[in-house]
């Protein structure tokens, strides 16, 4: 068997349209069990569209998505959560009028009640949330809200965690903490599909990466290889290559 055959997530020839616009044009990639895979690209390249289609928020026009060998394209998002796919969208989207504890409880809705072990695990990952369980989520800082959004997803016991721009708008020290937590979540056995504007951080973290350009895969490789690729350095890392 090839690595792709053994993939936890396999996306093949994915096409997504917004009306007459082809947002994705035959995108193919895979995420292996235990991997962190980064999706990079400029704004409008199709990264968020790809994640939303994988998580069931958008329906593909054509192509296939398989998870653990099962076709999932077209399955509603709330059913995919039951399979172990959890999505933390850009913008966090915490329930601002609920407390931190209530937000975490919402993450466990498919189990009907909170497992204390799951809650303890999340609070070990995010000690700051333990101190704020009774606090209304809308009063948290941006970094704390991002931690809550990821923690809420972890309450669903994901096999695959989709993260869309987890560092956006956060201070550098908080960004470093978030990436350390993502690394720990992965070490605990969760595969990660990461969309991230901070290409350096993403590629240092990722096992592999794909670069999207106008809805198509333009480059792919290991995180280390993409970090040293001249095309990536010029386009996404802001470096000038001297001849």
Cα 114 to Cα 22, 69, 156, 175, 188, distances in angstroms: 41, 29, 10, 28, 20
pLDDT above 60 for 242: no
Give the chain's largest Cα–Cα span: 61
The pLDDT tens digits of the residues spanning 153-170 come to: 999 999 999 999 999 989
* pLDDT score for 29: 98
Q: What's the mean pLDDT when you consider all of the chain? A: 92
The pLDDT tens digits of the residues spanning 77-128 come to: 989 999 999 999 998 889 999 999 999 999 998 888 899 999 999 999 999 9
Task: Determine if the pTM surpasses 0.75.
Answer: yes
- The confidence band for 67, taking pLDDT boundaries of 50, 70 and 90, is very high
Give the Cα separation of 228 and 120 in Å (integer).
40
- The confidence band for 234, taking pLDDT boundaries of 50, 70 and 90, is confident
- Boundaries of every domain in the chain: 1-84+197-243
Residue range 1-84+197-243, CATH number: 3.40.50.300
* pLDDT score for 6: 72
* pLDDT score for 119: 96
Give the Cα separation of 236 and 5 in Å (integer).
30
pLDDT above 60 for 239: no
φ and ψ of 230, to 5 deg: -60, -40
Stretch 34-56: mean pLDDT: 95
Give the Cα separation of 35 and 14 in Å (integer).
21
């Amino acid at each position: 068997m090839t690595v792709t055959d053994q993939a936890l997530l396999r996306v093949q020839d994915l096409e997504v349209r917004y009306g007459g616009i082809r947002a994705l044009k035959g995108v193919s990639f895979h995420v292996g069990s235990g991997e962190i895979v980064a999706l990079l690209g400029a704004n409008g390249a199709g990264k968020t569209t790809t994640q939303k289609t994988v998580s069931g928020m958008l329906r593909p026009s054509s192509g296939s998505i398989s998870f653990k060998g099962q076709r999932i394209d077209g399955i509603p998002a709330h059913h995919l959560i039951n399979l172990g796919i959890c999505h933390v969208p850009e913008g966090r989207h915490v329930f601002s009028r609920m407390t931190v504890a209530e937000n975490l409880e919402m993450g466990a809705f498919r189990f009907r009640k909170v497992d204390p072990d799951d809650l303890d695990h999340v609070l070990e990952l995010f000690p700051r949330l333990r101190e704020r369980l009774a606090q209304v989520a809308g009063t948290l800082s941006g970094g704390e809200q991002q931690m809550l959004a990821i923690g809420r997803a972890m309450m669903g016991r994901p096999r695959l965690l989709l993260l869309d721009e987890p560092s956006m708008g956060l201070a550098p020290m908080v960004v470093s903490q978030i990436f350390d937590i993502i690394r720990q979540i992965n070490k605990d056995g969760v595969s990660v599909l990461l969309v991230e504007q901070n290409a350096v951080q993403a590629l240092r973290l990722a096992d592999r990466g794909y670069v999207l350009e106008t809805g198509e895969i333009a480059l792919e490789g290991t995180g280390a290889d993409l970090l040293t690729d001249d095309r990536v350095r010029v386009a996404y890392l802001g470096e000038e290559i001297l001849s």
